[in-house]
Amino acid sequence: MKAIIIGFMGSGKTTVSRLLAQKLGCRAFDLDEYIVENERRSVKQIFEEDGEDYFRKREHELLLEILKEDAVLATGGGTPLREDNRMAMKNAGVPVILLEASSKETFERLQGDDTRPLATGLDETSLGNLKNQRRQAYEECADYAIKTDEMTPLEITEKISELL
C-alpha cells in the first residue's frame, strides 16, 4: 500500500486516488467499486437487500484484502466509522489522507447522484450534519487533511505527492 485516501462522499477520493496511483506507477483501488465487483450488485442493491450492517461487514473483509496490495486506496465514505477499519488503516504503515470538502461543495457535487443510499433525499443541512457526525472518526485515523474546495484533482494529487 502506498497511500489511503479517506473522506466524506463526494470529496474526490476516487478521482484523486486514480491520479495518484498513475503518478506513483501503481494500481488504484476504490473500496466501494471493489465491493460491487465482488458482490456483483450495486451498493444501493446491497443496502436494500441485505442492509448496512452486511455492507459494512463485507467492506471490512475486503479492506483487509486490499491493504496487502501495492496500491493507492480510496475508501468508502463510511469506512472509517468502524474502529477495526480505522485500526487496520493506521496499522498499514502508509499515510492516511483525509480529503475535506465544505458541506456546500459536497451538496453541489452530490446533486442528482442516486447511487449513494445514505445521501439520497438529504438537503444541504442534513448532509452537513451527517458529515459532522463522521468528523471524529475521519480525524482519528487521518495523518493529513487537505481542504479541497479551491483545488483541482491534479492540485490535490500534487499536494499528496509532496506529503509522501
Is there a binding annotation on residue 134? yes
Is there a binding annotation on residue 10? yes
Instruction: List helix spans (H) across the chain.
Output: 13-24, 31-39, 43-66, 83-90, 103-110, 124-141, 153-163
Is there a binding annotation on residue 56? yes
Is there a binding annotation on residue 14? yes
Is there a binding annotation on residue 82? no
Is there a binding annotation on residue 93? no
Task: Please give the C-alpha separations between residue 66 and each of 4, 47, 74, in angstroms, as whole numbers.
Answer: 11, 22, 10
Is there a binding annotation on residue 18? no
Is there a binding annotation on residue 131? no
Is there a binding annotation on residue 11? yes
What is the spatial distance between Cα 96 and Cα 4, in angstroms, rounded to a whole number?
5
Strand ranges of the sheet holding 71-74, from the earlier edge strand across to the other edge:
27-30, 71-74, 3-7, 96-100, 144-147
Is there a binding annotation on residue 75? no
Spell out the long-range contacts of 55-60 with Cβ–Cβ below 8 A and sequence spacing 24 or more.
56/81, 56/82, 59/31, 59/35, 59/85, 60/84, 60/85, 60/88
87: which 3 cell numbers? 485500526
Is there a binding annotation on residue 15? yes
Binding-site entries: 10-15, 32, 56, 77, 116, 134
Binding-site entries for substrate: 32, 56, 77, 134
Binding-site entries for Mg(2+): 14
Binding-site entries for ATP: 10-15, 116
